[in-house]
Structure 1
Amino acid sequence: MSYDVTAVRAHFPALLEGAAHFDGPGGSQSPTQVARAVADVLTSAVANKGVMTAAERRATQIVDAARAAGADLVGGDPQGIVFGRSMTQLTYDFARTLAKTWGPGDEVVVTRLDHDANVRPWVQAAEAAGATVRWATFDPATGVLTADDVARALSPRTRLVALTAASNLLGSRPDVPTVAATAHEAGALVYVDGVHFTPHAFVDMAALGADFYACSPYKFLGPHLGMLAAAPALLEELRPDKLLPSADVVPERFEYGTLPYESMAGTTAAIDFLADLVPGTGTRRERLAASLEALEQHESELLAHLDDGLAQLPRTTRYGDPNRHRTPTTLFTVAGVPPAEVYQRLADRGVNAPAGTFYAYECARVLGIEETGAVRAGIAPYTEKSDVDRLLEAVADISG
């Protein structure tokens, strides 16, 4: 099925402002359907979940619908879908909970490719428990973290491996299934950061081997929220700190306070929108598979156009190996022009491609850009070829 980017773009009012958006890795624009779903909740009678009043029933229906949509998105179980303020908050919560069972002699593996939200919570939780942190690093020339790189950090004492499905800085995609299989052989759990992966690929957490899969709806066209998926049986084994009167059933025991119903409704709408990026029939899960396959092809073609264009420009350096399979993300610098200045000059031309290290602290250190950062251009479902051309023209002027 061909991808009609013009038809997709028609649903995004933000694009009428005229900017070419390459800032999706930090937060995507939202279609009208998502905004309407949020507004509908805020302008309807909603109360805490329950069954007695219409307002209570509406809240319950919103939550159930969001869990079902989240499960369809990642190939999980609705009763294993947990919502929180952000992926960072959820990861801290689960790190503290899992660390209750750790002690001296136990080990946790983190990688230098990851966003710090999938590094620091585990490092700090391990330190508090007296456990040891093992590091897996990647090749800065290619931006690739191999399964062997992670395997070297494993031991029979490994309790958990935290790994990204795609680098938010470079877009490189580790071989998560192989890493997970090796980690499971060692008796470890696998926590996968899918924040940068989910907007660009069809997710099957079972195929990935993820015991926990965390992502952020606002990166895949939805509202600001965090989502985590795990098997309900695994969640049943975990005992987070909680208020005495709050629900102790799974998954509610991991969700603190009243849920953000409007954001959950917006998340359902975003997942429905993704499922209908191309016309199709079948279940929502089946439509997601077809739509995301078409989207991945569209984004790959634009990424190739962007990479080829940047390769022809003087004084422009791209990080990572452009020939490796990755999400549609390019990191680059222009010699003699600070990345912050490139960012500003692009913005002056209506091209939104920010500069920095984007919380990928360890990754930036390995690349040697922890002080200056670099410019990151990310392609999204609403990106069209003319946007890429605008970016290339602007960088050409900056690079001379």
Structure 2
Amino acid sequence: MPFDIAQVRSEFPALAEGVAHFDGPGGSQVPRAVGQAVAETLCSGIANRGAVTAAERRAEAVVTGARAAVADLLGCRPAGVVFARSMTQATYDMARALAKGWSGGDEVVVTRLDHDANIRPWVAAAEAAGATVRWADFDPGTGRLTVDDVAAVLSPRTRLVAVTAASNLLGTRPDIPAVAAAAHAVGALVYVDGVHLTPHAPVSMADLGADFYACSPYKFFGPHHGVLAAAPELLETVHPDKLQPSTDAVPERFELGTLPYELLAGTTAAVDFAAALGGSRDGSRRTRLLDSMRQVETYEAELFARLLDGLAAIGAVTLHGSPGDRTPTALFSVAGRSPQEVYEHLAALGVNAPAGSFYAIEPARRIGLGAAGAVRAGISPYNTTDDVDRLLAGVASAAR
């Protein structure tokens, strides 16, 4: 069944404004069904979770429904899905909890390719525990991080490897299964930042070899909060700081305070929307998600090829990173124009492609861009060839 882009776009009220959105890597636009789920939950009778009143039961159903939806999306078990205010908060909380078991001589590996949310929490936790931080570097010319780059800094004292599944700056995708195998061979845990991968590809935690997988629903059509997934048995071994009367059950022991029920309802709606992108109504939600995300990959790859070819044809444009296994994310500079100037020029034309380092400060520095970064254009499932051509025309006019 062909990817029905007209039907997809009809589900996004924001697209009626006429803007071509290439800012999906910072947060996607939201389909109508997600907004409705959030509003309906906020406006319904709801209370703290329980089994006595209808309001309590409604809250319980929202939470269990959201855990099941995320489990289908990531290929994990609902009992291992933790909700947090953001991916950054979830990672800081888990880093502090895991660091309770670290001591002097232990080592933690982070990479120069990662968003700072998968670097600084581990650096801070290691420093507090007296552990050593070891850095895996990547090739600044290609933007590629290889398993050899990571293996070079592993040792029998490595306790955890934090690595991105896809760079939010360059789009490049490390071979996570190979990295995970190398880390597991020395007895280390693997914490995968899946924020930038999840909107663009089918995800299976088991296939990736991830012990922990963190992502953000607002990058895949949902509300603003964070998700952390792991095997329930692994979560049982981790003991975060928590309030004395709060439950010690997994996964609730990691969720501090009352959950935002309306956001969880919106997340379930976002996952259901993603499962319907492929047009199939047959099979389990997990089966439909895998089919939909494969179609999304194919559709986005076609648009991305058009975008890359068009940018390469503009003489003043420098593309950062190399083609290959990457998400549909282009990072580019225009000679004689600052990234901010290009961003503002495009915005005036109704094309949203922001500029900066996008909190991926380490890779931005490594490829010589610094904090100013460059212009980033990310393809989303609601983009069209017309959107791409508008962006290319805007960049060409900025380059004159």
Q: Report the TM-score when normalising by structure 1.
A: 0.99
Q: Which residue of 1 aligns with 2:316?
A: 315
Residues 361, 371 of structure 2: 8 Å contact kept: no
SS in 1 for 2:213: strand
Q: Which residue of 1 aligns with 2:161?
A: 161
Once residues 364 and 130 of structure 2 are traced to their aligned partners in structure 1, the CA distance between those partners, rounded to angstroms, is 27
Q: Which residue of 2 aligns with 1:131?
A: 131
SS in 2 for 1:223: coil
Q: Which residue of 1 aligns with 2:284?
A: 283
Q: Which residue of 2 aligns with 1:107?
A: 107
Partner amino acid, structure 2, of 1:302: L
SS in 1 for 2:381: coil
Q: Which residue of 1 aligns with 2:239?
A: 239
Shift, 1:247, TM fit: 1.1
Partner amino acid, structure 1, of 2:296: L
Deviations 1:94-129 (A, max 9, x none): 000000000000000000000000000000000010
Shift, 1:372, TM fit: 2.3
Q: Which residue of 2 aligns with 1:4?
A: 4
Once residues 334 and 75 of structure 1 are traced to their aligned partners in structure 2, the CA distance between those partners, rounded to angstroms, is 41
SS in 2 for 1:198: coil
Deviations 1:232-269 (A, max 9, x none): 00000011000001111000000010000000000000
Shift, 1:381, TM fit: 1.1
SS in 2 for 1:163: strand
Once residues 17 and 103 of structure 1 are traced to their aligned partners in structure 2, the CA distance between those partners, rounded to angstroms, is 54
SS in 2 for 1:140: coil
Q: Which residue of 2 aligns with 1:294?
A: 295
Once residues 307 and 340 of structure 1 are traced to their aligned partners in structure 2, the CA distance between those partners, rounded to angstroms, is 21
Give percent identity, aligned residues only: 67
Q: Which residue of 2 aligns with 1:251?
A: 251
Q: Which residue of 2 aligns with 1:365?
A: 365
Once residues 272 and 134 of structure 1 are traced to their aligned partners in structure 2, the CA distance between those partners, rounded to angstroms, is 40
Once residues 211 and 2 of structure 2 are traced to their aligned partners in structure 1, the CA distance between those partners, rounded to angstroms, is 34
Once residues 325 and 361 of structure 2 are traced to their aligned partners in structure 1, the CA distance between those partners, rounded to angstroms, is 23
Once residues 325 and 189 of structure 2 are traced to their aligned partners in structure 1, the CA distance between those partners, rounded to angstroms, is 26
Matches within 5 A, 1:128-207: 128-207=128-207
Partner amino acid, structure 2, of 1:344: E
Q: Which residue of 2 aligns with 1:56?
A: 56
Q: Which residue of 1 aligns with 2:92?
A: 92
Q: Which residue of 1 aligns with 2:383?
A: 383
Once residues 371 and 229 of structure 1 are traced to their aligned partners in structure 2, the CA distance between those partners, rounded to angstroms, is 31
Shift, 1:371, TM fit: 3.7
Q: Which residue of 1 aligns with 2:45?
A: 45
Once residues 224 and 92 of structure 2 are traced to their aligned partners in structure 1, the CA distance between those partners, rounded to angstroms, is 17
Shift, 1:2, TM fit: 1.4
Deviations 1:69-90 (A, max 9, x none): 0100000000000000000000
Once residues 307 and 215 of structure 2 are traced to their aligned partners in structure 1, the CA distance between those partners, rounded to angstroms, is 26
Q: Which residue of 1 aligns with 2:263?
A: 263
Shift, 1:151, TM fit: 0.4
Partner amino acid, structure 2, of 1:307: L
Partner amino acid, structure 1, of 2:101: T
Partner amino acid, structure 1, of 2:79: Q
Deviations 1:140-170 (A, max 9, x none): 1100000000000100000000000000000
Once residues 341 and 159 of structure 1 are traced to their aligned partners in structure 2, the CA distance between those partners, rounded to angstroms, is 44
SS in 1 for 2:166: coil
Following superposition, which runs of at least 4 residues in structure 1 exceed 2 angstroms of deviation?
none
Once residues 213 and 397 of structure 1 are traced to their aligned partners in structure 2, the CA distance between those partners, rounded to angstroms, is 41
Shift, 1:325, TM fit: 1.4
Once residues 315 and 344 of structure 2 are traced to their aligned partners in structure 1, the CA distance between those partners, rounded to angstroms, is 19
Partner amino acid, structure 2, of 1:291: S
Once residues 371 and 217 of structure 1 are traced to their aligned partners in structure 2, the CA distance between those partners, rounded to angstroms, is 26
Q: Which residue of 2 aligns with 1:20?
A: 20
Once residues 224 and 7 of structure 1 are traced to their aligned partners in structure 2, the CA distance between those partners, rounded to angstroms, is 25
SS in 2 for 1:200: coil
Once residues 131 and 278 of structure 1 are traced to their aligned partners in structure 2, the CA distance between those partners, rounded to angstroms, is 46
Q: Which residue of 2 aligns with 1:345?
A: 345
Q: Which residue of 2 aligns with 1:303?
A: 304
Partner amino acid, structure 2, of 1:226: G
Shift, 1:279, TM fit: 1.6
Once residues 43 and 95 of structure 2 are traced to their aligned partners in structure 1, the CA distance between those partners, rounded to angstroms, is 36
Once residues 258 and 298 of structure 1 are traced to their aligned partners in structure 2, the CA distance between those partners, rounded to angstroms, is 39
Once residues 124 and 225 of structure 2 are traced to their aligned partners in structure 1, the CA distance between those partners, rounded to angstroms, is 23
